[in-house]
Amino acid sequence: MPHLTHLQRLEAESIQIFREAVSESERPVMLYSVGKDSSVMLHLAAKAFYPSKPPFPLLHVDTTWKFQAMYEMRDRMAAQVGMDLLVYQNPDCVEQGINPFDHGSAVHTDMWKTEGLKQALDQYGFDTAFGGARRDEEKSRAKERVFSVRSAQHRWDPKRQRPELWSLYNARRSPGESIRVFPLSNWTELDIWQYINLEQIEIVPLYYAAPRPVVERDGTLIMVDDERMRLDPGETPELRSVRFRTLGCYPLTGAIESEAADLHGIIQEMLLTTSSERQGRVIDHDSSGSMEKKKQEGYF
């Protein structure tokens, strides 16, 4: 008997989750953030429904502050897989010009991402949204369900979460409720990289080290991605060989110094280094247990 490797098992499970969610929902959508997990998720979606196209659109909840390279990749990938791409920008944020410099990371993230996501889901009436979150990312996520129920206000209530047994997912919703589905729940960061390597999945070049203009702030390297970056007096960007372990809004995403310019280099570096993935994200450091709070408020 052929023996299945861990990556084959993870892939088969994710595909099963995709098919189950689509079969039991009326208006599914996939949240596409352009990061490496989104790339893997998109690849798995293509596999799940082949030879059909995935029967749902992609939704990018945009903040207008992503890296330029992410926008390029986003538009190209949507065209390549032939799926509809919906881009949503919270109109309140557009009007008020919400940005990380004047409003701080907390307000910026809450308004563009958390509120933007809720508005987008309401506007299009999606009842099921695929997200790329993994259980290994953060302690409070270890208990997240694969099918996670959200109230009409998009809140996550630990008491309303349903037990999940075998591969029998309960996708039933009451009016107004929606379901977040996480096909990558059981993948770890290492699995993701191994799979990207094995399947030759394209990822944003920002993951690879290259000389980039950065400034150092509170020990974090911030890339000067466009002219909107506000420099402190006396601060001048310098060219350093850096890469990103995680991608978000460029003024809120720390780079690490690295020479790893290809996939093998990244994996080698990752396996030999010692800081966890989410540390590069400024938003998690607000307070202890902050991810849990964000989840209750509706952040992915």
Partner 1 sequence: MSHVANELLETDVEAYLKEHENKSMLRFITCGSVDDGKSTLIGRLLYDSHLVFEDHLAALEADSKKVGTQGGDLDFALLVDGLAAEREQGITIDVAYRFFSTEQRKFIVADTPGHEQYTRNMVTGASTADLAVILIDARKGVLTQTRRHSFLVSLLGIKHVVLAINKLDLVDYSQEVFDSIESDYREFAANLSFTDIVAIPMSALRGDNITSPSEATPWYTGPTLVGHLETVEIEDEIQHQPFRLPVQWVNRPDLDFRGFSGQIVGGTVRPGDRVRVVPAGRESTVARIVTFDRDLDEAVAGQSVTLTLADEIDVSRGDVLVAAESPCAVADQFEAHIVWMDEAEMLPGRPYLMKIGTRTIGATVAQPKYKVNVNTLEHTAAKTLELNEIGVCNINVDRPVPFDAYDDNREMGAFILVDRFSNATVAAGMLHFALRRADNVHWQAIEVDKLAHAALKGQKPCVVWFTGLSGSGKSTIANILERKLHQLGRHTYLLDGDNVRHGLNKDLGFTDADRVENIRRVAEVAGLMVDAGLIVLVSFISPFKAERRLARDRVEAHEFLEVYVETPLEVAEQRDVKGLYAKARRGELANFTGIDSPYEAPENPEIRVDTTTLDAEAAADAILEHLRNEGIIGQ
Minimum Å distance from CB 76 to partner 1? Answer: 20
Amino acid type, 182: F
Nearer to partner 1, 292 or 297 (CB): 292
Using a 10 angstrom Cβ sphere, with 0-12 exposed, 13-18 middle and 19 or more buried, the burial of residue 165 is: exposed
What is the nearest approach in angstroms of partner 1 to the Cβ of residue 236? 29
The answer to whether residue 152 forms part of the interface with partner 1 (CB under 8 A) is: no
Per CB under 8 A, does 201 bind partner 1?
A: no
Least distance in angstroms from the C-beta of 272 to partner 1:
7
Smallest gap from Cβ 52 to partner 1, in A, equals: 4
State the greatest distance between any 2 C-alpha atoms of the chain, in Å, as a whole number: 67
DSSP assigned state of 272: H
Give the residue, chosen from 89, 119, 220, 279, that forms a contact with partner 1 under the rule CB under 8 A. Answer: 279
Q: Site for partner 1 (CB under 8 A): which residue of 26, 97, 143, 236?
A: 143
For residue 254, report the phi and psi dihedrals to the nearest 5 degrees: -85, 140
Task: With residue 147 as reference, give the H or E element that holds it.
Answer: strand 147-150
165 belongs to the binding site for partner 1 (CB under 8 A)? yes
Is residue 8 close enough to count as binding partner 1 by CB under 8 A? yes
Contacts with partner 1 in 39-58 (CB under 8 A)? Answer: 46-53
Site string for partner 1, 247-266 (x = CB under 8 A): -----------------xx-
> Do 48 and 18 form a contact (C-beta atoms < 8 A)?
yes
Strands 220-223, 210-217: pairing is antiparallel
Please tell me whether residue 194 binds partner 1 under the rule CB under 8 A. Answer: yes
| Residue partners of 9: CB distance under 8 A and separation at least 6 | none
Is residue 180 a contact partner of residue 144, using CB atoms and an 8 Å limit? no
Q: Per CB under 8 A, does 197 bind partner 1?
A: yes
How long a stretch of residues is the chain? 300
Residue 218 engages partner 1 in binding (rule: CB under 8 A)? no
